[in-house]
Structure 1
Amino acid sequence: MAGVTGLTFLALCLPLLGALLSPFVIRRLGASGAWLLAAVPFLSFLHFLRFISGVARGEVVTGGYSWVPSYNLSFSWFLDGLSLTFALLITGIGTLIVLYAGGYLKGHPQQGRFFSFIFLFMGAMLGVVVSDSFLMFFIFWELTSITSFLLIGFDHEREAARRAALQALVVTGGGGLCLLAGLLFLWNITGVTQMSLLSPFGDVVRGSPFYLATLGLVLCGAFTKSAQFPFHFWLPNAMEAPTPVSAYLHSATMVKAGVYLLMRLNPVMGGTPAWEILLPFFGGMTLVAGSALAIAHADLKLKLAYTTVSSLGLLVLLTGFGSEYAIEAAVLYLVAHSLFKGALFMIAGVLDHETGTRDITKLGGLLSAMPLTFAIAMLAAISMGGLPPFFGFLAKEEIYAALAGGNLRSLVFTAVAIFGNALMFAIAFSVGLKPFVGQAAETPKHPNEAPVLLWLGPGILAALGLALALFSGITHHYISSPMASAVQGDAIDVAISPMPHLGLPLALSVLTVILGVAVYWKIELARALMVSFLQAAGPGPDRGFDSFIAGLVRLAWRVTRIVQPGRLEIYVTCTFVCLALILLVPPLLYGELPSFPVWPRGVQLHEWAIFLLAVIGLAAVLCARDRLTAIISLGIQGFSVALIFLLFGAPDLSFTQFMVETLSVVILALVMTRLRLSPTDPRPLLQRLGDGSIALACGLGFALLLMRATEGPFNAALTDFFNTYSKTIAHGANVVNVIIVDFRGTDTLGEIAVVAITGLAIIALIRMRAGGERKLVAPDPDRVEVAE
């Protein structure tokens, strides 16, 4: 087990190693270095492939390292049918993406940086799906948002890329914060911090009064990451990233992280009315919106991006539908979608790379120039269209078997699925067939067949979509059934085959194909109708995001003008008001006021003299006619306190107090001599009364706190500890010095550093000569610009 644990840890770290090596490999070998770099994810793929037989038998693979045992925090992983399938998809498709990127970005001056980013994302996504501990899961979850920000904004010189990257980061990062709160709720409800230990607590979670709050927070995290309505707008905008990013992040991996989370928590949080209402509703809305919006665009990547949105909606719908068939359909469709959508995205990149355009209205007649690309595109399109004998057909049959029923709920969601699948059928062949048939179009570049690095990846994925269906028995045994069992929480045996079977699901599939062919036949008319509808509908969530950010900037500017006006007087006043409230309000609310102190007996004459001296110093401060006199008079207070320390047996503390007071008075006096000294207090009477009230409130608060603290019994634990160990551990007889220098030496070092920096600042202030003032001009809040 130790050897397996070590190898698994190495497999998880390999992408991070690839991120470090990428710039050096590309600098040395150029685009051909992609073959070497592809070995990094491929080795991880081979390692995870070793577990497929054991997981198919119902085994799970766990491992990790304890991090903070007292808080049950660990760096641990958990591999079952669900996480293993995701790990294989991430590393397997990742291998092909690395090869594809080597050809697609050949000659790009920042290719090494791109590979570093893609490997960092790969490692983060791999961490998400194999993480067992909540903390490890959340850290990797947020790392996927950060690394996707870097990848989407890779072409950072373009404003559209920067905007899309920022939008994706804000939406998914905000959802991540909600997810963190949801995980904390789960921890509070169950008392466990590991995914693998949640299953027995399903009834506890569902019966908790915090269930709805937990569900809402978890769904917010999952919906933002998987681009569910109304957060769907960020994913199509992310197509500003290079095509390898679109093919990897936004079809096969990152956008499915939210779906993975919902599938992982289905045994614990599923089966409730809220789960079975919210997930199908938002999933259905996303399915309809994504597929309809895909029709309106002519850009190949945008069409595929919106169909990815609709596919994610379908997966969420199925995950929350509440039946074994729905779980089987979700599992089959997730695998099928990763294969055909990854292939089609790469085909869109090939067409753009070889012709110079992604506009479908400017493409046509490419079959003779690019026959191999056409064959690969057709294989992927057939699977996406759900035609036999491809894996997409198995998924679509299972979808209709799960949704079809006699009740109103089943009828509604079946109609939604038919509508979405029909539009996706039309779009699949718009991308995979339309550019290759018809009259040859004039393109910016003369089309040629792509080099091997560009067609190898989509070719393998498209062929897998056929092979997995033809050998469906093996596929179900090793992939579909273990994955569905993990999502359901009980053993499920997936048995659907690629041979069509007469029944309602097949009839619905035929209806879907007929509708899809009709839309494809009139695709230009459908696009024109959707464009007109969108223009009539007005601004959507994308523009709403811009308005939200602009409003947030204006609000921040106005709040800053209020709380940060640039006047030190206001800052000090607010600080002391808050301090007075903190000191006085809790004792008054909770009845923790101290008893009135008893007047001390036996006070000596010299002690009375010291207290009288302090009072005289206070009166001198209040009656001073200028600031310099007040500062010097203030030193009387400090010296009086130092004398009290000396009388009550603390000479070292008294000596420190004398030094502090002396230096303070000298330094402040030196500073004040360099400044303009007002002969009188310029404050009006009302402000002076207010400031005096705040000062009295703070003083009273500290007095009450100290009196309340001294009323309690004295705890000598620390005193005994320091008395016992000062000599034996620190070898010092002066306990106070030992505490300052040894037991809290780092704290003392920090204090010394603060004093030193303050002294340097004071020296600079003293030596400063009069000069021109620099004015800080605040930005105009009415001129906040947001990129269109």
Structure 2
Amino acid sequence: MKTGDRPLTFFALILPFLAAAAAPILTRILKHNAAWVLALAPLWIFSHFCGMLGAIAGGGTVSGGFDWIPSLGVRFSWYMDGLSLTFALLISGIGTLIVLYSGGYLKGHEHQGRFFSFILMFMGAMQGLVVSDSFLMLFVFWELTSITSFLLIGFDHRREASRRAALQALVVTGLGGLSLLAALLVVWSATGQNELSTLLASGNVLRESPFYLLALILLLGGAFTKSAQFPFHFWLPNAMEAPTPVSAYLHSATMVKAGVYLLMRLNPVMGDTAPWETILPLFGGATLFVGTLLAVRQTDLKLMLAYTTVGSLGLLVMLTGFGSETAVEAAVLYLIAHSMFKGALFMVAGLVDHETGTRHISSLSGLRGAMPITFTAGLLAALSMGGVPLFFGFLAKEEIYAALAIGGGWATLALLVALIGNVLMFAIGFTVGLKPFIGPMGNAPKKAHEGPILLWLGPLVLALSGFAAALYSPLAHHLLSSPMASAVAGQSLTVEISTLPHIGAPLFLSALTIVLGIEAYLTQAKLRAGMVSLLAAIGWGPDRGFDQAMRGLVRLAVRVTRIVQNGRLDFYLTVVFIAVALALLVPMIMFGELPSMPSWPDLRFYELTVMAIAVIGLGAVVYAKDRLTAIVSLGIQGFAVALLFMLLGAPDLSFTQFMVETLSVVILALVMTRLRLAVTEHRPFGQKALDITVSTACGVAFALLLLKVTQLPFDATLSSFFEAHSKAIAHGRNIVNVIIVDFRGLDTLGEISVVMIAGLSILALIRVRAKGHEKVKTTRQEQAPCEH
């Protein structure tokens, strides 16, 4: 293991956030040129991580960090191997192109600076997620991706559709985040590890734990929601309400692949079990099938690509759960290829929309002459997405078929689903990357022309990268594919597939995919009509179900609020005191902790007198005919307690009690005389019976608790501590005062604050009542002459 350059790596992790803070200022100063300056941040990060390629390709890892919460053994730590490094390079590399693309796409937008800030924060969150080592650091960045994606999806907040899509993404991925947090806590408890690097070195500890299945289910809850697996897939296409730079970045290298990253990361310690190899292929295959079929239904370029992303994520999950070494290699190759061709196609779709004013496929054709660079980028990306030879997508398709064409019922079903998915993705890829550019000129709202360099640079670079990576596949495998596959498999793997055809079942299936894909491309209108009819027949779907669930949640909240927050103070107090009584009585009764009844003490005459005064005061309160008499009588109880304090040798407490009771009686009497209340109360018998029951229960509960406490052996630890340290530390001889002022200073401050707030509330209540009374009186005086 190699320890990395901690300052530089830490700087790489916080640099996107620093750039996000500076983005609005730079945008105001540099205008549309700000993108070139801001892109330097992810470009430097990309170059920094490129410097680790040699060490990690040689079988090493790079780690570092520092103590975050030392008392809990939690570190802010990072861990770089083939998996995390490949993700880091994709995030920073594609992120550089996205920042440049955003500068052209949102040129002149009044909130471009804010957008740059959001996209850079999103980049930093995703970057931190994939290099995190500590569980806490992973969870923090995981949730930060949800928050920043919410800001990006809802960027055009004036549109209701944008707000709905942002809220939907936040709710779904946020709930998944809570599931992930629970999973990490279970793993921590089961293995004693709170860092990924040590967990990966723990062998079969997690798989052999009785909590394995619980941890797996909770983990899948986080991964499936983040990576839009069926039936949680609906939020991802709706996220297309975001500007195209967001869609291109989110779908190619960042948030939607976070769940796939997590599954790949934990495959060495959670894979190779029956639940893993059943649940992942099942849900992954269903997601691939549903996503590609729904993509055929769409006519919007971005929605076509969005649904194929759903299908691609399903394919990655299916391969990750399949278990074989070849399946792992296929997943790695397809993830890299998908990042390049999907990012390019999304940017092509946005560029076409930017220059023509539409993304509707029926209005787009004949753009090849007007947009030759965009056409080149789109065609190259489509060729890679379709799995055509000489492109990295072809290598991925070959390896997918090699992994699944092994015979057996389960593998044959997975192979059939993969074949259907790849055929439909071939058709969609060329529908986006080729169809808008061929044929006669369409009826787009704007006259098309080639966009500026900021818009076509990104898709062209990514499309050419897919070609170059295949052309120099040995180098790409050595630096990226093999280290990443080794990290996912938990053992050393060497990816060797090249662009040279290999005669066999995979090549035959690749050729069949191309033939059927061309047929699907040519008959796409019929396929679309069939899907429209099918979806109309089905009717209900998860997207509609989300709206129904949210409406139901709101209705439930309203009903619960009407019950528990009905605006009646007497109801609130009754509930609180019932809860107090139950909290005290139920544990003592259930666990047999009731105190034994003490014998009658031998009291002196003056002690009996004080108790008699307290009983008389209690009777005066209960039988008082008006509120003022009850308030004054209530003070008798406090004075009796103050007398007891004095008789038992605590004059300071006695003095405090006398002052508090006197002030309480005066203040309450003052308030009651200023408020317009009835002289006596008129509660129904049922209300009185309830109040008597609750108050009796609370009194008995506290009495029993105090009796139980006094019957326990006295622990003098605190008393000895305060006696030994009050004068030495706080320089005070009065131990009680020292405890209140020094050792419990914050508690005392809180109590004072509560008293102050209560006093201000009483003052405000009196003033409001007084002003209301004066207003009513004035109004009556003004109306009096009119009545005569």
Normalised TM-score (structure 2): 0.96
State the partner residue of 1:84.
Answer: 85
User: What amino acid is aligned across from residue 722 of structure 1 in structure 2?
Assistant: F
How do residues 451-600 of structure 1 correspond to structure 2 at under 5 angstroms?
Answer: 451-600=452-601
Aligned-pair CA distance for 1:771: 6.5
Match of 1:709 in 2: 709
Amino acid in structure 1 at the alignment position of 2:53: I
175-184 or 312-321, larger mean C-alpha shift: 175-184
Q: In the superposition, relative to structure 1, how do residues 771 and 546 fare at CA in structure 2: closer, same or farther (>3 Å)?
A: farther
Which residue identity does 1:555 align to in structure 2?
L
Aligned residue number for residue 733 of structure 1 = 733
For residues 616-643 of structure 1, the C-alpha deviation after alignment (integer angstroms, 9 at most, x for no partner) is 0000011101111111101100111111
Counterparts of 1:595-610 in structure 2 under 5 Å? 595-601=596-602, 603-610=603-610
1:379 maps to: 380
Note if contact 1:389-1:469 (Cα within 8 Å) is conserved in structure 2.
yes
Shift, 1:556, TM fit: 1.0
2:3–2:62 contact (8 Å) kept in structure 1:
no
C-alpha contact (below 8 Å) 1:80/1:483 kept by paired residues:
yes
Q: Letter of the 2:720 partner, please give it.
A: D
Q: 1:415 to 1:275 in 2, by over 3 A?
A: same
* CA RMSD, 1 decimal: 1.3
What letter matches 1:39 in structure 2? Answer: L
Alignment of 1:15-54 (within 5 A): 15-54=16-55
Give the stretch that moved more between structures: 667-676 or 700-709: 667-676
Q: Please report how far the alpha carbon of residue 750 of structure 1 lies from its aligned counterpart in structure 2 after TM superposition.
A: 2.0
Shift of 1:759: 1.3
Q: Residue 764 of structure 1 aligns with which residue?
A: 764
> For the Cα contact (< 8 Å) 1:343–1:459, is it kept in 2?
yes
Corresponding residue SS for 1:395 = helix
What's the offset of the Cα at 1:197? 1.0
The 1-side partners of 2:772 and 2:245 are apart by 55
The answer as to 2:443 corresponding to 1:427 is no
Alpha carbons of 1:256 and 1:771: their partners in 2 closer, same or farther (altered >3 Å)? same
> For each residue in 1:223-274, what CA deviation from the matched residue of structure 2 results, as whole angstroms up to 9, or x when unmatched?
0000000010100000000000000012221000000010011111111111
Alignment correspondent of 1:93 = 94
Identity %: 65
What is the DSSP-based 3-state SS (H/G/I as helix, E as strand, rest coil) of the residue aligned with 2:75? strand
User: Is 1:660 equivalent to 2:660 in the alignment?
Assistant: yes
**Matched residue, 2:722:** 722
Match of 2:126 in 1: 125
- SS of 1:388's partner is coil
Higher alpha-carbon deviation: 570-579 or 192-201: 192-201
Match of 1:223 in 2: 224
Structure 1 counterpart SS, 2:752: helix
The amino acid across from 2:379 in the alignment is M
Structure 1 counterpart of 2:724, one-letter code: T
Distance, in Å, in 1 between the alignment partners of 2:553 and 2:518 is: 46
CA distance in 2, matches of 1:768, 1:12: 55
* CA drift at 1:704: 1.0
Letter in 2 for 1:105: L
Deviation at 1:2, TM superposition (A): 8.2
Contact (CA 8 Å) 1:635, 1:661: kept in 2 or not?
yes
Asked if structure 1 preserves the Cα contact closer than 8 Å seen for 2:674 and 2:770, the reply is: no
Map of 1:313 onto structure 2: 314
Which residue does the alignment assign to 1:616? 616
2:168 paired residue number = 167
Q: How far, CA to CA, are the matches of 2:677 and 2:451 in structure 1?
A: 80
Q: Which letter does structure 1 place at the counterpart of 2:504?
A: G
How does 1:355-434 map onto structure 2 within 5 Å? 355-434=356-435
Contact 2:4-2:63 within 8 A present in 1 as well:
no
CA distance, structure 2, for counterparts of residue 6 and residue 350 of structure 1: 39
Question: Matches of residues 683-698 of structure 1 in structure 2 within 5 Å?
Answer: 683-698=683-698
C-alpha distance in 1, partners of 2:341/2:30?
31
CA drift at 1:681:
3.8
Matches within 5 A, 1:743-758: 743-758=743-758
**In 1, are the aligned partners of 2:405 and 2:415 still within 8 Å (CA)?**
yes
Q: CA contact under 8 A between 1:473 and 1:497: conserved in structure 2?
A: yes
Is contact 1:252-1:341 (8 Å) kept? no
| 1:628–1:677 CA contact under 8 A, matched in 2 | no
C-alpha deviation, 1:679, in angstroms: 4.3
Cα separation, 2, equivalents of 1:745 and 1:566: 35
Q: Name whichever of 735-744 and 57-66 sits farther off.
A: 735-744
SS in structure 1 of the partner of residue 239 of structure 2:
helix
Aligned residues of 1:627 and 1:677 also touching (Cα < 8 A): no
The alpha-carbon deviation at position 677 of structure 1 amounts to: 4.0
Shift in Å at residue 613 of structure 1? Answer: 0.5
Report how far residue 768 of structure 1 moved. 2.7
- Determine the C-alpha separation between the residues in 2 that align with 1:235 and 1:30: 32
The answer on whether the counterparts of 2:610 and 2:640 sit within 8 Å (CA) in structure 1 is: yes
Q: Deviations over 1:260-295 (max 9, x none)?
A: 010011111111111111100110010011111111
Given that residues 87 and 253 in structure 2 are in contact (C-alpha distance below 8 angstroms), is that contact kept between their aligned partners in structure 1? Answer: no
Letter of the 1:285 partner, please give it. Answer: A
Letter in 1 for 2:585: L
Letter aligned with residue 609 of structure 2 = A
Structure 1 residue 450: Cα displacement: 1.1
CA distance in structure 2 between the aligned counterparts of 1:486 and 1:128, rounded to whole angstroms:
16
Moved more, 609-618 or 722-731: 722-731
How far 1:767 sits from its partner (Å)? 2.6
> What is the CA–CA distance in structure 1 between the aligned matches of 2:111 and 2:568, rounded to whole Å?
47
- Written as runs of structure 1 = structure 2, the 5 A alignment for 1:335-350 is 335-350=336-351
Q: Which amino acid aligns with 1:628?
A: L
SS at match of 1:135: helix
Match of 1:232 in 2: 233
- 2:685 and 2:547 map into 1 onto residues whose CA distance is 49
User: Quick one: distance in 1 between partners of 2:677 and 2:417?
Assistant: 78
Residue number in structure 2 paired with 1:783: none
Give the structure 2 partner of residue 781 of structure 1. Answer: none
Aligned length: 772
Segment drifting more, 196-205 vs 431-440: 196-205
Q: Secondary structure at the match of 1:600?
A: coil
SS of 1:715's equivalent? coil
Distance 2:513 2:285 in 1: 16
Partner of 1:742: 742
Asked if the contact 1:55/1:81 (under 8 Å) is kept, the reply is yes
2:671 corresponds to: 671
In structure 1, the gaps of 5 or more residues are 774-788
Deviation at 1:189, TM superposition (A): 0.5
Distance in 1 separating the partners of 2:772 and 2:508: 84
Q: Which stretch shifts more, 87-96 or 677-686?
A: 677-686
Deviation of 1:116 (Å): 0.3
Q: Quote the Cα distance in structure 2 between the aligned partners of 1:123 and 1:44.
A: 10
Name the CA shift for 1:628/1:522 in 2 (closer, same or farther; >3 Å): same
**TM-score where L is the length of structure 1:** 0.96
Task: Indicate the residue corresponding to 1:780 in structure 2.
Answer: none
Task: Work out the CA distance in 2 between the residues paired with 1:322 and 1:771.
Answer: 77
Deviation (angstroms), 1:769? 3.2
What amino acid is the match of 1:160? Answer: A
Measured in 1, the distance between the counterparts of 2:698 and 2:203 equals: 51
Q: Secondary structure at the match of 2:769?
A: coil
CA contact (8 A) 2:251 2:342 kept: no
Which residue number corresponds to residue 147 of structure 1?
Answer: 148
Tell me how far apart the structure 2 counterparts of residues 14 and 543 of structure 1 sit (CA, whole Å): 40
2:781 maps to: none
1:666-699 deviations in whole A, cap 9, x for unaligned? 1111111123444444222233222111111111
Name the counterpart of 2:783.
none
Give how far 1:209 is off. 2.3
Q: Which moved more, 1:61-70 or 1:282-291?
A: 61-70
Match of 1:291 in 2: 292
**d(CA) in 1 for partners of 2:590, 2:360:** 69
Residue 445 of structure 1 deviates from its aligned partner by 1.1
In 2, the alpha carbon distance for the partners of 1:455 and 1:652 equals 82
Rounded Cα–Cα distance in structure 2 between residues aligned with 1:765 and 1:579: 28
Residue segments in structure 2 that go unaligned for 5+ positions in a row: 774-788
Question: In 1, Cα distance between the equivalents of 2:771 and 2:284?
Answer: 65
Give the match for residue 280 of structure 1.
281
